[in-house]
Structure 1
């Protein structure tokens, strides 16, 4: 082995081996003003032997990991990548290692399918031209001057004819910050989108029931306190696949310390395989019944932590209801069926959720008699239509057993960048110094589940009982991949074909761009000056420019500043702070928690020379590390050890003193009866919710599928080969991780379906085709598909060949305006036409 390692270290690439390691591809080199150029094999081999530089490269996508990613650059060529090696790896001070996606970044940034020039649809003309050709028209290369003139003239024309509310910015919603949004706001405003996406129904429920102003993501335990847990329940959480970076590694340390893991999921996930001591499959969108069945068992077997309920909660029983509330509306009597005649027994729950009665009882007993126990939910179980009861019931179960406020206990949707590491950020960036530009028509905001209908039908819900007319005539897509990633993509495509003008700025011909009239190529983070990225609470990453801008790609800020000039908008409003100054502001303003946990101090020391070299203005300062060290390493990671002053468990202070440390709720306690939440959901206007957690069958849940002839429930899972939709175009990742359609072996046998057969999946909203993966790792009656595939419509057949879950999911607005991706019913059948693997599909290469 040592000999092999030595050979690998000393290996010299020759012409043939270089081409082999490049998977048959010719090296890509960037030269100023030239974009990508091919070099021959001899030149490639020559470059591989030259001295280069490791540069911290942005891994900026929304997977939650944000790990350290470095690119080795020789004369403008990215030769290879590596991940964190800044310090020795250990469980207490782990390296921030990248995954297959991060290591494939150069195949994305330097991909042959990068958009190279501004372009317009061949049959476009002011007012739309032949709008039905959007998505299949040819593209015509144009100059930047022509592209910017088209943008400005269409914006002015549409404003004059229809008013500012006719501009729709689906990627916005913050009222400022993102460049096109700033321009539209400065030009009189626009219609925005709003609504919870990733977190499902957790945000309003968690914040209102607990009084904490967040969605629960940073609540629970940090990675050291998880080692105190005796039982960890991963409820619809699959960190091994969905939360990249360190979460699975951190969970392994808890397992080694003695924690038992129970995984609740319709799929036998990678996390269940890695961590699970028990797998309990449950039907999607029915988890609330399982929780209520457990609650019934705990109540009737006298396993309650009555002291916790009495001192820390309100609404559990008739004796602890808030003033003015109907005593009959207490949670205990609802579970026992005292007034509605339906006890929520394990038998009742089993019929709906599909979990065996004995399993429910045993699970309930183990949870109620184990302390500390943590329920850690993913977002998936709560990404269901009218799903606010689910997090409320899950939190109530923890209150019933007193599993809150104790190191190792808790309940929260602890996922994404907070997975396994809850608590306030220990290191954080400063602001960029750009002032906010408010939207003058901020009330013109459309819920995500209503936006495409609003474009097509001319109306949206402003509040309960109040519909407002709107006439959207321009859609401007940037940053996010809205058409592909929001539910109801079938309606979204129709909406894009209806408006008079659709524009996208992106790196690639994404679904948004494909259905646009004008497409503007933008630079990636690798081509820009640099910036800071946050990941888990212990790290801050400083990435810098890796390559020169490719072809004619421009930054988003440059684009909007040029459009602003043509519109007569003051560019100082749109672009008030230089890129260099923004970067300095973020670094100089970065802070790190003191070792004793008493507060924050400056992170970075800046000298006058450092500031001058950055091209910024500012005063020298003293911090924990030098600017040069931060830039060279590309990361600062807070040193941690067991027992330090930085460990975290939610609600420790409240549990220690429920009277003196009241919560910011009307009662000062956890609200099992939460009238505030009920009124908030009612006022939003899409559906209603009882003040206590109940089972309210979601639209297109299990019951609707049985009733309407769609026998399978589909779950849309995060997938290895991409971060949401980002990186889905990388051939390496497509080949490594095929976009398969999961199906239970028994269900497949009944339909005559085998692995790799092409199947047609039909919902009420659209149709996709995909190769089947037949397995026992998914419960009967449930199917699964990875979210994020780029829509590839076969217009003649009326199917999406890529398997985009946006096509399958419904355009439905419920609850607090969250997206119900996992309450959706489908039917499945064999498809009679072949489908080539998508890694063999032609890339979307334009010019």
Structure 2
């Protein structure tokens, strides 16, 4: 039967979405959504006609947070996205690669037009002002309401809660980064709110990198760009798995370095996709013990005289007693710590082996190879530093590079080079203009750390700084943009917190975990339904996405919602929404800049005529740039042409290495600080834990040793997963079918427990339990299990387990260090689960109305 015949014979079920279902080959459809006030069902004959009608390829937003943000195009006929494709704007080559999308990006149509899109504003059936039956949050029925009723309820509750408890009682846990900040604008204009803070993706790296190197930009300013990587002789991927987590070009760029002669060593408890493609050697290591491996390597380098002593003397502070800062105890130098001069414990490879799980001989061989290979690059993902009190790890890793002088040389370096800077460090070569919307500052100074926010809601106290614990009475939670319960540690407490407050509000595209535990849910549009905007990915590209379709059902933009609420709260709408959407888009385009070919500075990217500005519906003056507006619009992307040896290559710290006296770093000493008193003071000031000025091994809370002695013998690592970007796209059936959410367990461990492939396993930590089918494999080290992070929580409250396998259920709600989250210092125990569990692709979608 042909695809067209299948489409004509297809019978839509009652709960089937009215949206488009395109084929991969000829674009046949079964039923199609047409834009308008709502959606219309189209018969199969008309659907087939649409599939064959002339349409337009339009650049569509691929906005999820994987770091790639590759080129995504939708073929649009009469406002219907029939199919998708990726970059074909130029011939593909290693030097000038296409920005090709992955399975996630190519599934956006199935998300944006998914059957589970929220269609109308709604409230809980048993909601009443003040909460109603709050315990039913997550299980209550939903009642469809009008936008006027929804906005009136929200405004009334904000007024009531502010009047009774003050602005500080309104909690916006999304925080001030990542975009989508329209709700904060109206809250701040109405007197402020309590916000969230804390490092998440980068783990313990941010404060350490800034204090030790003097550079605030953790990613873009660390390491080499893709051409300089080809000069590396050795590349160490330390807990970095770009083939699975970054997608896009990073793995391709690493392959070019490998073809140019670089050897790859991968350090990871999991034999990852990146290791499979790139690794010459895989070193499996126990999670949260990487610092011991580094110290064991450093001991070997020191005692075998493999140091770059000249570099240490000229460019570093605190390696030995002769190079300590004034006023510091000379005994607190790093060299004597390694030797165990004062603590009686030499940090030998044998000492490290007992903790990290690698043999002493392997540690020595690794140290020898690294120290004698120049240039060598250590490139870390965020994962190894996503551990409780993890600041010692990045500090030690930087120090390892400093000891060998593998810093400031093209092809060398130590860097947390991941996300959109993965394999391509350096300042942006093309960047968007400011949208022209001024910030509305929060007049309150109330901000709670991610690792303390749920306990603060439940118990009414939080740590503002060392010795300063404050009372707080949170009575409203407003979730948007992110997926706070699901994607922060301590998800079980997050659910309790949402059930405690008097009012819980969410706005989203879907009934996410946050929305499920709310009182009122507001449907919002996706970026495919917005007017358009600019997206950045790697340093060489700028994407101009446009509107693909009109808003579905009754979904509204975040800015429209904020503006309407402002009117009801007595706030001047112009403060919240000062310029039109068209003007904001024009400002981004007109202000877009591109680096000059000689690297001397930026110039305008886009030429705009009076007619272009009129077409955009904005006010502005014509200008001359590198490309025309027409070209930018039609291609949907500008990619900076590159070639080896051009003036745009980048390696961090080259200038400083060449002239350490004249090009001092922005640290107190002007040098790299192995002894870093400012780091120790910064951590102490936060108020959760302390850190010595030099890197040491401080066993993380709930790390390997803690689990081994407390009845949780397995360590769980929370990996980025093909199926989704964090939690985005987890609801797409295509991706659920292609990439099941499995618990990876080592073959020997599974045999000892009688676990076979697809057996259901219960995974329990101190903080909660999940169940998942087992994937028995040799590709993970014994004593470690792995789960993809981001699965949407599906609680079985009677059994006390999450059926989806959300790692936030397992991770502890623990604030340490700079306030980062310890996703990879978590201990668990395993047991076979007696009840069956259907594959999640067969679960009913969260379709409301």
Give the corresponding residue for 2:598. 596
Give the corresponding residue for 1:256. 259
Task: Indicate whether 1:340 and 2:330 are aligned.
Answer: no
Give the corresponding residue for 1:770. 772
Task: Indicate whether 1:512 and 2:517 are aligned.
Answer: no
Give the corresponding residue for 1:89. 92
Is residue 180–residue 558 contact of structure 2 (8 Å, CA) maintained in 1? Answer: no
Which of these residues, 213, 219, 223, is aligned with residue 220 of structure 1? Answer: 223
* CA separation of 1:71 and 1:251: change in aligned 2, threshold 3 A: same
Is residue 55–residue 70 contact of structure 1 (8 Å, CA) maintained in 2? Answer: yes
> For each residue in 1:285-343, what CA deviation from the matched residue of structure 2 results, as whole angstroms up to 9, or x when unmatched?
00000000000000010000000000000100001101000000000000000000000
Give the corresponding residue for 1:415. 418
Which of these residues, 159, 164, 167, is aligned with residue 164 of structure 1? Answer: 167
> For each residue in 1:675-720, what CA deviation from the matched residue of structure 2 results, as whole angstroms up to 9, or x when unmatched?
0000010010000000000000000000100111000000000000
Task: Indicate whether 1:396 and 2:396 are aligned.
Answer: no
Q: Gapped runs of 5+ residues in structure 2?
A: 11-20
State the Cα distance separating 1:15 from its structure 2 match: 3.3
Is residue 175–residue 181 contact of structure 1 (8 Å, CA) maintained in 2? Answer: no
Give the corresponding residue for 1:28. 32
Give the corresponding residue for 1:328. 331
After superposition, where does 1:279-294 map in structure 2 within 5 Å? 279-294=282-297
- 2:3 and 2:832 map into 1 onto residues whose CA distance is 48
Give the corresponding residue for 1:622. 624
- 1:629 and 1:54 map into 2 onto residues whose CA distance is 14
State the Cα distance separating 1:176 from its structure 2 match: 9.5
Is residue 176–residue 438 contact of structure 1 (8 Å, CA) maintained in 2? Answer: no
- 1:515 and 1:474 map into 2 onto residues whose CA distance is 12
- 2:95 and 2:23 map into 1 onto residues whose CA distance is 36
Task: Indicate whether 1:643 and 2:633 are aligned.
Answer: no
- The TM-score with structure 2 as length reference comes to 0.97
Which of these residues, 236, 240, 257, is aligned with residue 237 of structure 1? Answer: 240
- 2:780 and 2:163 map into 1 onto residues whose CA distance is 55
Is residue 26–residue 38 contact of structure 1 (8 Å, CA) maintained in 2? Answer: no
Q: Gapped runs of 5+ residues in structure 1?
A: 1-10
Task: Indicate whether 1:126 and 2:116 are aligned.
Answer: no
Give the corresponding residue for 2:13. none
Is residue 297–residue 346 contact of structure 1 (8 Å, CA) maintained in 2? Answer: yes
- 1:358 and 1:812 map into 2 onto residues whose CA distance is 36
> For each residue in 1:52-100, what CA deviation from the matched residue of structure 2 results, as whole angstroms up to 9, or x when unmatched?
1101000001000000000001122211000000000000000000000
> For each residue in 1:407-451, what CA deviation from the matched residue of structure 2 results, as whole angstroms up to 9, or x when unmatched?
00000110000000000000000000011111110x200000000
- 2:101 and 2:179 map into 1 onto residues whose CA distance is 31
Q: Which runs of 4+ in 1 moved over 6 A?
A: 17-21
Which of these residues, 201, 208, 211, is aligned with residue 208 of structure 1? Answer: 211
After superposition, where does 1:833-844 map in structure 2 within 5 Å? 833-844=835-846
Is residue 761–residue 829 contact of structure 1 (8 Å, CA) maintained in 2? Answer: yes
State the Cα distance separating 1:213 from its structure 2 match: 1.5
State the Cα distance separating 1:21 from its structure 2 match: 6.3
* CA separation of 1:557 and 1:393: change in aligned 2, threshold 3 A: same
* CA separation of 1:25 and 1:477: change in aligned 2, threshold 3 A: farther
Give the corresponding residue for 1:571. 573
State the Cα distance separating 1:577 from its structure 2 match: 1.1
State the Cα distance separating 1:48 from its structure 2 match: 1.2
Give the corresponding residue for 1:8. none
Task: Indicate whether 1:536 and 2:538 are aligned.
Answer: yes
Give the corresponding residue for 2:660. 658
Give the corresponding residue for 1:804. 806
State the Cα distance separating 1:175 from its structure 2 match: 12
State the Cα distance separating 1:46 from its structure 2 match: 1.3
Give the corresponding residue for 1:672. 674
Is residue 32–residue 47 contact of structure 2 (8 Å, CA) maintained in 1? Answer: no
After superposition, where does 1:228-627 map in structure 2 within 5 Å? 228-441=231-444, 443-627=445-629
Is residue 450–residue 813 contact of structure 1 (8 Å, CA) maintained in 2? Answer: yes
> For each residue in 1:589-645, what CA deviation from the matched residue of structure 2 results, as whole angstroms up to 9, or x when unmatched?
000000000000000000011101111000000000001110000000000001100
* CA separation of 1:217 and 1:762: change in aligned 2, threshold 3 A: farther
- 2:103 and 2:695 map into 1 onto residues whose CA distance is 41
Task: Indicate whether 1:634 and 2:636 are aligned.
Answer: yes
- Deviation larger for 338-347 or 70-79: 70-79
Is residue 429–residue 540 contact of structure 1 (8 Å, CA) maintained in 2? Answer: yes
Give the corresponding residue for 2:181. 178
Give the corresponding residue for 1:105. 108
SS at match of 1:29: coil
SS at match of 1:204: helix
* CA separation of 1:821 and 1:175: change in aligned 2, threshold 3 A: closer
